[in-house]
């Protein structure tokens, strides 16, 4: 059994907002004792995307085993848990409800607090977690780029529990655009990681529009870029021309990611920050990771990127966000907690 100190705050995180069933144990908001992720990718692959009802059913099947594995990996018992943090939005309604119901029942039976977590704030909190004992982690205040399947936004992080939205996408999310162009190119689900892989074999030689790149504001747009890629592929098909999928992926990636990097750096300069971080599933993208660090070096800005294992959905990030809410007595939920599928930042 792991030795815990009386004052240690042990948070159980539960995450079921989309197609990953995850439970994690985090000590004092920083140290991951366990982070179990059961992915449904193989189940949804044959449908070309996540089927909400199928996702809910599979969360129900997996949640108990995932929780027990998280306790075993952390070498603790359920009586060591101080509080439970659960994602209540944004996400798929039925999928969220599985995690919420499980968390409520456990909080009630153990008589411990339940904390409701905004999934996107969880992605940001991934940057506070230490995986290999790192101590050089980002601390507020700083600028954060949130780039996921459902969100693309730039935020000023004012404290561990407060933020200000500086800009957001005016149409599609960046990750959604990755997934959509993958479909057009017959790249199997999940599109983002495979587009990333193929990009490395291609060259960014096709001129796709870099939406709102040079505008002075901090909003983003992806629907025009998505349409440009779709039109390019359809035109080539109609003319029976061969296309290079790798070049399309590389060109799309540059057009999608360059504006993010530019606006992240601009926000730091405009609001006087020296620290910038990225969060959300697309922060796993190798082009973004490499080039945002380079841009930071060029501009004297320190860039923090979460380890790959914490970029996509996992419960450790939910536990980290839950910890800061718990110690600040924020977002403590009752047993009436419900899912909020369209929860905003
Ligand atoms: O953060 P996340 O799990 O979803 C939401 O919370 O919305 O992110 C999933 C998204 C998907 O759109 C996926 O295609 C994208 O992140 N993604 C990537 C990569 N890995 C995941 N996009 C580009 N490159 C990657 N390596
Ligand atoms: Zn996510």
Q: Which residue has the higher pLDDT, 213 or 265?
A: 265
Give the atom of ligand 1 at the shortest distance from the alpha carbon of 313: 3
d(CA 103, CA 67): 10
**Burial class, 278, CB count within 10 angstroms (exposed 0-12 / middle 13-18 / buried 19+):** buried
Encode burial over 214-237: b for 16+ CB neighbours within 10 A, e otherwise.
eeeebbbbbebbbebbeebbeeee
pLDDT, one tens digit per residue, over 313-337 is 999 999 999 999 999 999 999 999 9
Q: Is the CB of 306 under 6 A from ligand 1?
A: no
Q: Is the CB of 196 under 6 A from ligand 1?
A: yes
Is residue 14 within 8 A of residue 87, CB to CB? The reply is yes
pLDDT, one tens digit per residue, over 233-288 is 999 999 999 999 999 999 999 999 999 999 999 999 999 999 999 999 999 999 99
pTM for this model (two decimals): 0.95
CA 133 to mean position of chain CA atoms: 22
Cβ count near 304 (within 10 Å):
20
Tokens of 280: 């959300």
**Burial class, 273, CB count within 10 angstroms (exposed 0-12 / middle 13-18 / buried 19+):** middle
3-state helix, strand, coil in the chain (%, to 5): 45, 20, 35
| Span from the CA of 148 to the centroid of ligand 1 (angstroms) | 5
pLDDT, one tens digit per residue, over 148-177 is 999 999 999 999 999 999 999 999 999 999
């Amino acid at each position: 059994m792991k030795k815990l100190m009386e004052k240690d705050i042990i948070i159980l995180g539960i995450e079921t907002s989309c197609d990953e069933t995850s439970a994690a144990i985090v000590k004092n908001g920083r140290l991951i004792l366990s982070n179990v992720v059961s992915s449904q990718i193989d189940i949804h692959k044959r449908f070309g995307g996540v089927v909400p009802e199928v996702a809910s059913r599979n969360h129900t099947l997996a949640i108990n085993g995932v929780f027990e594995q998280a306790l075993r990996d952390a070498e603790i018992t359920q009586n060591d848990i101080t509080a439970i943090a659960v994602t209540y939005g944004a996400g798929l309604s039925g999928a969220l409800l599985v995690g919420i119901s499980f968390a409520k029942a456990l909080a009630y039976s153990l008589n411990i607090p339940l904390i409701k977590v905004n999934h996107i704030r969880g992605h940001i909190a991934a940057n506070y977690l230490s995986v290999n004992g790192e101590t050089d982690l980002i601390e507020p205040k700083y600028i954060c780029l949130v780039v996921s399947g459902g969100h693309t936004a730039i935020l000023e992080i004012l404290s561990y529990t407060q933020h200000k939205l500086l800009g957001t996408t005016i149409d599609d999310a960046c990750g959604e655009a990755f997934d959509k162009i993958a479909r057009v190119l017959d790249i199997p689900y999940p599109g983002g990681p495979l587009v990333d892989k193929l990009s490395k074999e291609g060259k960014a030689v096709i001129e796709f529009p870099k939406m709102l790149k040079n505008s002075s504001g901090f909003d983003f747009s992806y629907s025009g870029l998505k349409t440009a890629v779709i039109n390019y592929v359809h035109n080539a098909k109609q003319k029976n021309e061969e296309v290079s999928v790798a070049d399309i992926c590389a060109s799309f990636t540059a057009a999608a990611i360059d504006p993010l990097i530019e606006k992240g750096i601009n926000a730091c300069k405009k609001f006087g920050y020296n620290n910038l971080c990225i969060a959300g599933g697309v922060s796993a993208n190798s082009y973004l990771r490499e080039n945002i660090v380079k841009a930071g070096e060029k501009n004297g800005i320190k860039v923090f990127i979460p380890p790959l294992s914490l970029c996509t959905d996992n419960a450790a990030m939910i536990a980290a966000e839950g910890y800061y809410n718990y110690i600040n007595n924020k977002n403590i939920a009752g047993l009436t907690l419900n899912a909020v599928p369209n929860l905003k930042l």
